[in-house]
Structure formats: structure tokens, C-alpha cells
């Protein structure tokens, strides 16, 4: 069984009880990851009565794998936004991300969170000559967006040879789990009720129902990664759950900065005591891309980081959006009390802050002027959904997801599940829902447990 804390940031957890009986609140937050934690802290600080329901343990979803790099300079994400939505949107998003990094820092300081925030330079590198045009385009775009990024002759002490690195000064690193748990404790001190082991199995109007009880609230925030229960096809087509691994490395030369590949699906590296923390895109959840990406990861570790020893691997997912902008706000105009926040494309700490800011503004009647950019029901450029499918192995994705005989069926839209041996869980290739070996829901959009027969468990 997985431990409650990653080995690189051991800690002690508090236990929270499961929900029993009926509760009422101004705001119900479903999901205790970075989004749920940041929303509870900002909403309670504004005086809202908040209940937080977590299906399992706080922070054990995708946030458990977060490697804690907090930056407004989202490398390739702005390139996608500029291409799909336009330069104005990219500029507005860049400004909000800059403010989000400052906001995260202010939360750390004002709540005295035990998450060791540190200012640190980030170096974005081109590993080979083939990557140089991408780095050049990035540097031009970042300059237009007002981010200083200068070529770094020493590549910031990158532990392997690179063609060229750009230095992006004054970014932040922190320990994500202590940050998240600290935010929830701060919210609790201001009256937030917190329940673990309380999966929401149905939402009926303003009431969310769990096995032990229910919560009625004026607003319901789905902070569940992919929004549970969502079956709206345009929205689902704009989201893709991509598997991503955090690899804890020990030994090797000490790092004094973070390093990101200019290629969005390649490695990122940050320093931790005694070693480094690597993040690696494993391809679209539930597909055969996993095996291929695993092989490249092993090769990369041997070739580029031979002095480091692998201590732990943590596999999770993150939700990418087709146009690069997160999806934050009311799910549908006719049910405006039901809000969602997801699609962070690998950058959850700063985006969760932005989501909490937008959601708090909407609920408190002081909407952020730029909020409409992120509306989940926005009109998507026709090519944006197609971009998500680029590089996805269709034969190993949607089609085999529907056709694979004998596999358990996803309770969201009946995709056939694939068992991921490395992660030890069932994954749906259609929309990324995941289930334990016994079929218990881990991540949405599925809400109900899947039926896994005895022979399928073997
Ligand atoms: C390997 C890796 C490295 C990363 N590194 C970084 C990084 O360096 N910097 C950065 O900014 N971001 C990083 N990210 C991205 C970041 O971790 C995610 O964007 C972020 O954690 C998403 O948070 P969330 O709260 O939306 O989702 P989650 O953390 O998944 O939280 C959702 C919660 O909802 C709960 N839930 C689901 N269904 C229900 C239900 N029915 N009822 C009740 N609860 C439910 C789940 O149990 C879960 O706890 C990384 C991601 C990965 C995978």
C-alpha cells in the first residue's frame, strides 16, 4: 500500500472523520486536492461557511505526485493559448499566473504554512539542436508576455549536457502536501468542516449524497480533477487526462535550480535534499502509450542521470485542456451553482490559486473581470479539441477502450478499462477515470464503483 506522504517530504497527517448525517453550508467543495484546499482557504477567509468532502484521504489524488514547482512561466502552455485563442488571452493568462505565484507566496507567509517556500531560478533547456527552434519561439513569446528569460551560458548547473538554456529568475518551489494540508487546517480554524472517506455518489440539485450522509449547499464546487458526473461531450473532448510520474532520485551532483525541457512531454527536474525530483509525462491515461513512455524514461535515466538512484516512483494523472486555458466556473448556465476547476496542463499550484480566486469572486459577488476566459462552457476553437488527440494512440485509446472484450466497464460512459500494472489500478482510456484493483472509484469523471469480477482481478 502507498504511504501517506512521499518519501521526499515525510510528515504526519491528521485524521478527519467521514460525513455522517445531514449538513448545510454556503459552499460545498468536493475533493481535497490542491484545488479544494486553496478554495476552502480563500472562501473561509471571506467568511463563507464551507464543507469539504474528500472521497479518500486529503491530498492523495493527483496532488500527491506534484513536484512543487510554482511558476508563472508555463513554457509551452502559452504557445498553445496564443495559437488557439490568441495573444490577448495568452497575455491575460500570463498576468494572472504571475499574480497567482505572488498569491501562493502570500498564503504561505500569512498562514505560516510548513511547506518551505523558496525562490529559485528555473532553466528551460533545449537538449538537442532539434529543440532550438522551440526554445527560440518560447523566448520570443515570453518576451512579449513580459517574462524575463535570458540565455544562460552555464545552463544553471544542469546535470547533463544541453544545447542551450534560458534562465527564468525568481520562481518558487515548495512542498506541496504540507502546503495543501496547511491550507485545509487554516480553513478549518476559520470554521470549515472537513470530512475524509466521504465519496460523493450523486448530486441532486443543491444536495450532494455520500454513503454516510448528505450536504445541502447554495454552491457546489467540483474540485475533483475531471468533474465527476460530467457527460457533456464538447467539454470532455476539451480535456485529456495524461498520466505523469514523479521519480524521487537520490545521490548525484547537488542541484541549485529547477530544469524544464522545452518539450512539454519531456522531463522536469527540481532539487530536493540529497537528490532531485523528476516529473515525466507517461502519455494518455489508459492507453498503450504508457509502456512506450516507460521505456524512454528508463533510457533517459541511464543516459542523462546515471549517478542518481531511483528511490520512489509515484504515478498520477493531470488534466490537460485543448486550448491551454484551465476550465474554471459554472459547468452550465442553467445550473450556475455547480462549479468546476480543472485542466491545469501540469501546473496545479498556481492554477489552483487562480481557480480559487475566480470561484471566490463569483460566489462572493465580486467576479474577476477575466473570468469569462476560463468558462468551462466557452466556445472552443475547432482545432483545439483535435490538438488534444494529436499524439494520442487512437488504436490504444478511444477505439480499443470501447471494444476491448472481457475488461471491466467504466461507470461513466461504458469505456472498457485497462489495468495499469505500474500504477496498480484500472484506467479508462476514454476520459481517464481510475479505479482500484477491486473497482473502487479513485478519480472521475466516474462517480460509481466499477464491477470487477474475481477472474478480472487476477
Ligand atoms: C507527476 C506530477 C508532477 C507534477 N508537478 C507539478 C509541479 O511541479 N507544479 C505544479 O504546479 N503542478 C504539478 N503537477 C500538477 C498538479 O499536481 C495537479 O494539477 C494538481 O494536483 C491538481 O489538483 P486537483 O485538486 O485539481 O486534483 P486532485 O489532487 O486529484 O484532487 C481531487 C480530489 O478529489 C477527490 N475526489 C474525486 N472524486 C470524488 C468524489 N466523488 N467525492 C469526493 N472526492 C472526490 C479525489 O480523491 C482527490 O483527492 C504535477 C502533476 C503530476 C502528476
**Residue located nearest, by CA, to atom 33 of ligand 1:** 31
Q: What whole-number distance in Å separates Cα of residue 29 and Cα of residue 48?
A: 12
**Residue located nearest, by CA, to atom 48 of ligand 1:** 61
pLDDT for the residue numbered 455? 67
DSSP label at residue 180: H
Residue 121 CA from chain centroid, whole number: 22
Specify whether the CB–CB gap between 432 and 240 falls below 8 A. Answer: yes
pLDDT for the residue numbered 363? 98
Domain ranges of the chain: 394-457
**Reduced DSSP (H G I as helix, E B as strand, rest coil) percent helix, strand, coil of the chain, to 5:** 30, 30, 40
229 lines ligand 1 (CB under 6 A): no
From the list 301, 363, 378, the residue with the least C-alpha distance to 333 is 378
281 lines ligand 1 (CB under 6 A): no
Specify whether the CB–CB gap between 30 and 208 falls below 8 A. Answer: yes
69 lines ligand 1 (CB under 6 A): yes
pLDDT in tens, the chain (458 residues): 567 899 888 888 999 999 999 999 999 999 999 999 999 999 999 999 999 999 999 999 999 999 999 988 877 899 889 989 999 999 999 999 999 999 999 999 999 999 999 999 999 999 999 999 999 988 889 889 988 788 898 999 999 999 999 998 888 999 999 999 999 999 999 999 999 999 999 999 999 999 999 999 999 999 999 999 888 877 787 888 899 999 999 999 899 999 999 987 789 999 999 999 999 999 888 888 888 999 999 999 999 999 999 999 999 999 999 899 999 999 988 889 999 999 999 999 999 999 999 999 999 999 999 999 999 988 776 665 545 544 443 334 444 444 556 788 999 988 889 888 888 889 988 888 999 888 999 988 999 999 988 666 65
Q: What whole-number distance in Å separates Cα of residue 101 and Cα of residue 118?
A: 12
Cα angle at 401 between 415 and 429, to 5 degrees? 85
The alpha carbon of 317 and the centre of ligand 1 are apart by a number of angstroms equal to 8
pLDDT for the residue numbered 383? 60
pLDDT for the residue numbered 330? 95
Alpha helices in 127-230 (DSSP H): 132-144, 176-189
The alpha carbon of 164 and the centre of ligand 1 are apart by a number of angstroms equal to 32
**CATH architecture entry for 394-457:** 3-layer Sandwich (2.102)
36 lines ligand 1 (CB under 6 A): yes
13 lines ligand 1 (CB under 6 A): no
Cell of 175: 512542498
- If 0-12 CB within 10 Å is exposed, 13-18 middle and 19+ buried, where does residue 190 land? middle
Amino acid at each position: 500500500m502507498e504511504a501517506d506522504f512521499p518519501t521526499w517530504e515525510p510528515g504526519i497527517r491528521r485524521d478527519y472523520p467521514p460525513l455522517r448525517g445531514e449538513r448545510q453550508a454556503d459552499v460545498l467543495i468536493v475533493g481535497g486536492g490542491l484545488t479544494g484546499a486553496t478554495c476552502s482557504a480563500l472562501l473561509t477567509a471571506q467568511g463563507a461557511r464551507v464543507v469539504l468532502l474528500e472521497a479518500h484521504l486529503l491530498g492523495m489524488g493527483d496532488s500527491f505526485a506534484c513536484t512543487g514547482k510554482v511558476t508563472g512561466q508555463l513554457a509551452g502552455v502559452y504557445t498553445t493559448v496564443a495559437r488557439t485563442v490568441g495573444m490577448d488571452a495568452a497575455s491575460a493568462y500570463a498576468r494572472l499566473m504571475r499574480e497567482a505565484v505572488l498569491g501562493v507566496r502570500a498564503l504561505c507567509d500569512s498562514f505560516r504554512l510548513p511547506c518551505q517556500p523558496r525562490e529559485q531560478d528555473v532553466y528551460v533547456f533545449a537538449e538537442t539542436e532539434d529543440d532550438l527552434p522551440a526554445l527560440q519561439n518560447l523566448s520570443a513569446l515570453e518576451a512579449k508576455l513580459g517574462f524575463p528569460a535570458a540565455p544562460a551560458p552555464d545552463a544553471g548547473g544542469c546535470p547533463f549536457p544541453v544545447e542551450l538554456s534560458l534562465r527564468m529568475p525568481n520562481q518558487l518551489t515548495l512542498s506541496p502536501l504540507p502546503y495543501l494540508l496547511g491550507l485545509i487546517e487554516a480553513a478549518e480554524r476559520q470554521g470549515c468542516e472537513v470530512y475524509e472517506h466521504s465519496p460523493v455518489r450523486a448530486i441532486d440539485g443543491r444536495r450532494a449524497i455520500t454513503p454516510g450522509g448528505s450536504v445541502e449547499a447554495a454552491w457546489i464546487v467540483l474540485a475533483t480533477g475531471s468533474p465527476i458526473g460530467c457527460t457533456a461531450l464538447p467539454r470532455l473532448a476539451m480535456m485529456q487526462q495524461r498520466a505523469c510520474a514523479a521519480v524521487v532520485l537520490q545521490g548525484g551532483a547537488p542541484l541549485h535550480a529547477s530544469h524544464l525541457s522545452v518539450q512539454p512531454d519531456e522531463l522536469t527536474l527540481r532539487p530536493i535534499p540529497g537528490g532531485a525530483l523528476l516529473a515525466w509525462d507517461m502519455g494518455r491515461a489508459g492507453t498503450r502509450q504508457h509502456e512506450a513512455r516507460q521505456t524512454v524514461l528508463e533510457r533517459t535515466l541511464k543516459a542523462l542521470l546515471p549517478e542518481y538512484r531511483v528511490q520512489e516512483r509515484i504515478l498520477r494523472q493531470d488534466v490537460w485542456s485543448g486550448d491551454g486555458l484551465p476550465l474554471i466556473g459554472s459547468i452550465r448556465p442553467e445550473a450556475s451553482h455547480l462549479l468546476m476547476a480543472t485542466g491545469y496542463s501540469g501546473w496545479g499550484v498556481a492554477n489552483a490559486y487562480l481557480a480559487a480566486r475566480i470561484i471566490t469572486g463569483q460566489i462572493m459577488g465580486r467576479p474577476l473581470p477575466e473570468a469569462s476566459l476560463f468558462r468551462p462552457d466557452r466556445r472552443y476553437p475547432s482545432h483545439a479539441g483535435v490538438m488534444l488527440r494529436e499524439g494520442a494512440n487512437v488504436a490504444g485509446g478511444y477505439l480499443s477502450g470501447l471494444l476491448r472484450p472481457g475488461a471491466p466497464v467504466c461507470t461513466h460512459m461504458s469505456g472498457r478499462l485497462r489495468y495499469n500494472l505500474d500504477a496498480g489500478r484500472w484506467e479508462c482510456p476514454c476520459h481517464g477515470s481510475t479505479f482500484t484493483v477491486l473497482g473502487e472509484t479513485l478519480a472521475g469523471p466516474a462517480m460509481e464503483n466499477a464491477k470487477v469480477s474475481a477472474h478480472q482481478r487476477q
